[in-house]
A and B are shown apart, each in its own frame.
Chain A
């Protein structure tokens, strides 16, 4: 069974189409890297997959849950997916540990003690067991993003969605986040990663999608697509990334 299946997904904002008939099928264990120019619709596609943006038309099924009308079906999709944002979006009034505990407490309905155990285990997994009592403002960007990954993992999602998880970080902090993501991939997590880190795409990704003006222009094996870009658009995109 595929974990993500969407057919003819369309989404426009104020009459401007952003996603045009996107078909996508992702199997368990795939590491799908999604790349493309700014404005090509990468974030929108990711946000449609967990119904933060609601598609205008098309069908969407995540881990067997169909997106229907109403909040309840959206919530069902969101429980199967974890999301990591470019700007971390940790809850600023809560410590790292409380950020990670909120999901287990309120979404999974675990007791305080059980949630603490979950949070401590995940913070250890992302290498932050010593920082658990700190507020987000007291952590570096890389640390904040690792807490955000732990927070998303804490509700046991089947799929992890990453939206440019390292773009807001200084280059020397990117490695620590990418390493955590690679560990996650090696543990068999299904992941969809929007990123311009093409080296990560080649090393960790099992599949590369190149999004262009709201359509999936290429879908294939990362190293093959990157080494021999089949279109001028992908070639110039790769060139623009390595030039800066």
Chain B
């Protein structure tokens, strides 16, 4: 078996393109997921009436179905139901955001509940309002605790973006498939694709480590 470096070399420009798209989808997915997850997590942690049932249903649906099915649903079924058109890129980002959002709401809920309720008492006893206690006392502590599980989720989201090849988004994995078809060199192409993913997940992990070190976990 010979490994043709030339194949890898020639494929690099296309792979970089795919990797960029993967990075964008992941970034939007994580960003949206953080927003959704924080709001839903707080709703769950404080058991806001009614809303916490809605969030419970949302989290259950997302956790209970494969992300491939979610992607198919958003790209193919949702446009029919709502009479809209979604680009593959939009569908992919939305899908990843909804998916990450569900897992992040559990992370957020857990980190908020892990903060000693005695600290909330201490804040309230000072005369702070509930929202102020959340903003100045519980929030900062919960944020620190959520960093390790968030890092984990970010990496999962990045890797999950590979399955958007099923809806034809030209991200890194889909490029891999195209390039394999063009060159017929599966070994070189998929090795290179794997290395690209590894570089991206590793950078993300390092970034989270850095953040973790900046905010000492208490």
Contact = CB atoms under 8 A, between A and B. Distances in A.
Interface of A: 47, 50, 52, 71, 74-75, 78-79, 81-83, 85, 87, 89-93, 102-103, 106-107, 137, 148, 151-152, 155
Interface stretch (B20-28, B124-132, B154-162): B124-132
A102 B136 CA distance: 8
Contacts of B140: 93
Interface in B94-138: 116, 118-119, 121-130, 132, 136-137
Contact of B126 (A74, A93, A152): A152
A79 B141 CA distance: 24
The secondary structure that dominates the B interface is helix
A93 B15 CA distance: 44
Contact of A75 (B118, B122, B127, B216): B127
A81 B122 CA distance: 12
A91 B128 contact: no
Contact of B125 (A52, A87, A93): A52
Interface residues of B, number: 21
29 contacts: A52-B121, A52-B124, A75-B129, A78-B127, A79-B127, A81-B125, A82-B126, A83-B122, A85-B121, A87-B118, A89-B116, A89-B121, A89-B122, A91-B119, A91-B122, A91-B137, A92-B141, A93-B141, A93-B144, A102-B123, A102-B126, A102-B128, A103-B127, A106-B136, A137-B218, A148-B122, A151-B122, A151-B126, A155-B126
A82 B125 contact: yes
A137 to B, nearest CB: 8
A107 B123 CA distance: 10
Contacts of A75: 127, 129
Ranked 4 nearest A-B pairs via Cβ: A83-B125, A89-B122, A79-B127, A107-B127
Contact of B130 (A52, A71, A83): A71
A87 B122 CA distance: 11
Contacts of B129: 71, 75
A137 B128 CA distance: 23
Contacts of A102: 123, 126, 128, 136
A78 B125 contact: yes
Report which residue of B119, B125, B140, B144 has the largest number of chain A beta carbons within 10 angstroms of its beta carbon. B125
Contacts, number: 64
B157 to A, nearest CB: 28
Report which residue of A75, A83, A91 has the largest number of chain B beta carbons within 10 angstroms of its beta carbon. A91
A102 B140 CA distance: 14
B218 A92 contact: yes
Contacts of B130: 71
B167 to A, nearest CB: 43
Given A79-B127, A85-B121, A152-B125, A106 B144 contact: no
Given A89-B116, A102-B136, A78 B141 contact: no
Given A78-B127, A90-B122, A106-B136, 5 more contacts: A82-B126, A83-B122, A85-B122, A89-B119, A93-B218
Nearest to B116: A89
A89 B118 contact: yes
B114 to A, nearest CB: 13
A92 B126 CA distance: 16
Contacts of A137: 218
Contact of B128 (A52, A82, A92, A106): A106
A240 to B, nearest CB: 27
